[in-house]
Structure 1
Amino acid sequence: MEVLTCIEHQRIPVRATRAPGEFALTHAQAKLLDAADGVPADAFRWGHQCVRWRQFCGVVQLGGLTLEILPKIHGKESDPGACREVLVKMLRKAGLMKVHRGAGAGIQTQKHTLLDIFIQEFCLLVREQVLMGKPRDYQQREENLGVIKGKLLINQQLRQNLNHQERLYCQFDELTDDILLNQAVKFTLRLLLPKCRSDRSKKAVTELLMQHDDISDQRIDRQSLDRLTLDRANQRYADILAWCRLFIDAENPDVTAGKHSLLSILFDMNLLFERWLAASLRPLARKAGLSLREQAPRRYLAYREDVDRKVFQTRPDISLIDRNGKVHLIIDAKWKLLNGPDAKLGVSQADLYQLSSYANRYHIHQVALAYPSQAGLSEIYALQLLGSHSAKLDIHCIDLLKPTAHLQLSFKF
């Protein structure tokens, strides 16, 4: 299976035909992309005989071609392996990829495609839990036996064993690992096997399929997963179930009809950057005696008297709060391109209005905007907000290649 790697905002030509290895999509592949249910409408833009990806990164399978979209990392734009490594580190830090006890360190992000990395991550999680024993539960069964087990079903006994007095039709509970949770894992493994590109991924999936050989093959869909409830005995499978849902939901409905092999796993870099920044700042804030909250605390900007309701609720991306509950700093994270030569730096006026209203509503004197680092930009730009409530607005350009510890020096809390 061929992989086409591009960096976000990069233009991919669309042509009638393409040679193997050529950086382009065919019209047929572009049509599949346009029709894929799992691809957000704002993930890319069509141009004149081209497509340009925006702020979504991940993988999309278009028949025999896997399209890999990586974030644009300042200083590493020409190194896909480094961009891929940063994306995986962000996903891990944000808690979207979880392998326990450091097992994920063995996945070579520089050498494998994103899809193979996701597959290997899933396999590592499953292997960890299988070593502890697959989940089991009691399942009710009915069967003809030589001795009574459970209870004898009289009606079925008369119907089926009238001429076979040596048989007893019984209903009983049996402890088994052939349950829906294990069936979902096996179905996901079978789903992933033909999508593996590296020998390492194929080997990992094949070995796990062998370990699930005693599990029956069942077609698992979203409704099946919705029926799954985890208890204390199988809560350890929560992360695995989340991956199963991700892979199964990523399948284009056309696959079930046997038309196309489509799969899309895309991450909104706006949300990922926000979650990564919050996860990176949380331990640093704790050391400074502050707590970090996401999308909180929420307050209203206005009151409508005629209906006696407060309206326009605020949702700060990140807030740093002291032990007395006072907000000290609000940070909004934006995965956007800035414009260094512009006096406004390309900052959206709406974003500036939002931070200004936060400063006023929360009665704080420091707010911040965080962007990924880009060429030609300094680390920090200081603005003084004008008006009756004077506040300082710092614009931070975060270097994702630096250790997260440098963030405390940058934000100075």
Structure 2
Amino acid sequence: MMIQVREYALLTSDNAQPASMDLGIVSEATFSWLEQLQQQWSGTSQILSREGRRFLRLGSYVGYLQSPTGESIEILPKTTLDVPAEIVPLRQLLRRMLSASFGITPREASQAVLQRSDQPLHEWIISEFLRHLADLVRKGLRFDYHLIEDEHSAFIRGQLDVTAQMRMPPGRGTQFHVRYAEFSPQRIENRLLRTALDWTLNMTRQGQSWRQANSLSHQLNGIVPISGSTTQSMRQWSDGKYLFGYRAIKPWCQLILEQMNPDFQYGSHQGISLLFPMEKLYEGWVGYGLARALHHDYQLIEQTKSQCLLEHVPVGEKSSQRWFMLKPDFVITGGQTVVMDAKWKLLDSRADDGLRKYEISQPDLYQMFAYGQKYLHGKGTMMLIYPRHQYFATPLPVFRFDEDLSLWCVPFDLESGGLVKGEWQDSFRCFPDDKPKVVYDEPQNSHAFHE
């Protein structure tokens, strides 16, 4: 059983309530499990918060949750103030944003895979991982030399450790203490792939994915999975030219081993947790679109922190310290310097009065003012980028901090992956009008990037 909701939806076990995308009805067992998660996660992030006695409120996280009873909750992006009519477009949007954020380029898939638009997010990740792994196995895994020390060898192989051999007790003179290099597939990358494969074999509920995972498991039978921390092991993954063929599968393996959190199912909470902060996914999607639309003479810098809010010399210290680093999402440099921030929030152009102020957050404006003073020295143009929807389809009129510093609020088309055109273009020379429109979608016959 699976329910679909969107960000900030309420979850309850009260069957008397009418279910919708903003109110999910779950079983008592699942609700109790969610209450335990809420207590565990309350100190780290606002994934779940209690709202009354019988309700839990989701935060700005999207993805997939599966309780130990098998009941599933799919959390989709909230892209409109109205309730969305269809689930499939939201799933496709989430996949595009996830792919852009993690640097994943989906390859062309078979028609059978393309028709499975009803796959939840974790099954889609599993199917893509298996497809890449099958291709890698078909081309051939990379081997490496590994040093083996054997103190019970029946014959001399490689180098004899004379000192250790002389210390052998009586009666074991026919056993040799040797040291040799073995050419085997037991390198860290293959072991991580085997670990991810074992987990997908246990967790997938799609028949085709299970059969493919089972077949690959037999082909990789001799490779030993990782027993310790997979996060530490992922840092040892080599990106050299020798492993060029492994680059496509690495982000899929990383998603499974780090984001799906395989240890979660074996712990006290047992289940599947695959959640992503929507703000980060949106920033990655916007950054992808901006980079493709930018004039070649300009450079897009993401998450820079070259400026701070203030400098301070503490008592007893001789040198000043930089406090409160300012980190805008995007800074464009070249013939013009521009500061841009992406905000995952639905503005409302109908709220054009001094009370509601288009629902723009006042702290966001303070933040942009500080960016303007430090990065632009109080002179220039900045931009806040919000998702486009039916009540925010065109850029708002320009906002001015003073005669030298201005701010534009511009919609970002989630489907096409580009800024909505408008008067703001006269102030931003870094985006040429003749630049081709960037589209990253899932057409009927291909999973690919298009321009």
Q: Same fold (TM over 0.5)?
A: yes
2:358 is paired with a residue of what secondary structure? coil
Q: Tell me, yes or no, if the aligned pair for 1:186 and 1:212 is still in contact at 8 Å.
A: yes
Please give the per-residue CA displacement for 1:254-273, whole angstroms capped at 9, x wherever unaligned. Answer: 6445x553222211111111
- Pairing of 1:270-349 with structure 2 (within 5 A): 270-287=279-296, 289-296=297-304, 298-304=306-312, 308-323=320-335, 326-327=336-337, 329-342=338-351, 343=353, 344-349=357-362
> 1:25 aligned to 2:26?
yes
**What's the CA shift string for 1:164-215, capped at 9, x where partnerless?**
85x6554322111134432222222111223212223223322321221122
Does 2:78 correspond to 1:72? Answer: yes
For 2:76, the aligned partner's letter is: L
Q: 1:192 aligns with which of 177, 197, 200?
A: 200
Indicate which of 132, 137, 141 corresponds to 1:134: 141
**Distance (Å, rounded) in 2 between the aligned partners of 1:147 and 1:72:** 67
For residue 145 of structure 1, report the CA deviation from its aligned partner.
5.4
Within 5 A, what are the aligned runs for 1:9-48? 9-15=8-14, 23-36=24-37, 41-48=45-52
CA distance in 2, matches of 1:252, 1:231: 24
1:391 paired with 2:405, answer yes
Q: Which residue of 2 aligns with 1:354?
A: 367
Select 2:257's aligned residue among 248, 267, 276.
248
Moved more, 69-78 or 34-43: 34-43
Cα distance change of structure 1 residues 253 and 188 upon mapping to structure 2, 3 Å threshold: closer
Q: Identity across aligned pairs (percent)? A: 22
1:284 shift after superposition: 1.2
Q: 1:108 to 1:331 in 2, by over 3 A?
A: farther
The equivalent of 1:53 in structure 2 is: 58
The answer for the alignment partner of 2:437 in structure 1 is none
What SS class does the counterpart of residue 382 from structure 1 fall into? coil
What is the CA distance between 1:153 and its match in structure 2?
A: 4.6
Identify which range, 301-310 or 313-322, moves more after superposition.
Answer: 301-310
Give the distance between the partners of 1:331 and 1:109, measured in 2 at CA: 37
The TM-score with structure 2 as length reference comes to: 0.77
Instruction: Find 2:189's aligned residue among 177, 181, 186.
Output: 181
Kept after mapping to 2: 8 A contact 1:225/1:245? no
* Per-residue Cα deviation, 1:110-133 (whole angstroms, up to 9, x for no partner): 221111111112223323322332
Does structure 1 retain, via aligned residues, the 8 Å contact 2:394–2:420?
A: no
1:376 aligns with 2:391: yes
Equivalence for 2:118: 111
In structure 2, list runs of 5 or more residues that go unmatched: 18-22, 426-430, 432-451
Measure the CA separation in 1 of the matches of 2:264 and 2:280: 29
Alpha-carbon separation, structure 2, partners of 1:72 and 1:390: 36
Q: In the aligned structure 2, how far is the partner of 1:371 from the partner of 1:209?
A: 45
What secondary structure is seen at the aligned counterpart in 1 of 2:359?
A: coil
Q: Distance in 2 between matches of 1:359 and 1:128?
A: 49
Which residue identity does 1:85 align to in structure 2? Q
2:12–2:25 CA contact under 8 A, matched in 1: yes
Q: Does the Cα contact within 8 Å between 2:41 and 2:47 map onto a contact in 1?
A: no
Task: Give the letter for the 1:377 counterpart.
Answer: F
Conserved in 2, the CA contact under 8 Å of 1:17 and 1:26?
no
Q: Distance in 1 between the 2:419 and 2:333 partners? A: 20
- Cα contact 1:178–1:215 (8 A) shared by 2: yes
CA distance, structure 1, for counterparts of residue 233 and residue 190 of structure 2: 11
For 2:119 and 2:325, how far apart are their aligned partners in 1?
Answer: 44
Contact kept in structure 2, 1:104 and 1:121, CA below 8 Å: no
Give 2:96's aligned amino acid. Answer: K
Give the 3-state SS of the residue equivalent to 2:129 in structure 1.
helix
| Cα distance between partner residues in 1 of 2:262 and 2:157 | 45
Give the 3 Å change call, closer, same or farther, for CA 29–161 of structure 1 in structure 2: farther
Describe the shift of the 1:184–1:410 C-alpha distance in structure 2 as closer, same or farther (beyond 3 A): farther
90, 100, 103: which one pairs with 2:97? 90
Is the 1:61–1:264 Cα contact (8 Å) retained in structure 2?
yes
Provide Cα deviations, 1:60-101, integer angstroms capped at 9, x if missing partner: 2211122211112348812111100011011222334344x5
Mapped contact 2:304–2:331 kept (Cα < 8 A): yes
Residues paired across the two proteins, number: 400
| Secondary structure of 1:77's aligned partner | coil
Q: What's 2:380 paired with?
A: 365
> 2:313 touches 2:321 (CA, 8 Å); kept in 1?
yes
Q: For the residues of structure 1 that align with 2:272 and 2:41, how far apart are their CA atoms?
A: 8
**TM-score by structure 1 length?**
0.83
Question: Could you tell me which of 243, 263, 271 is aligned with 2:272?
Answer: 263
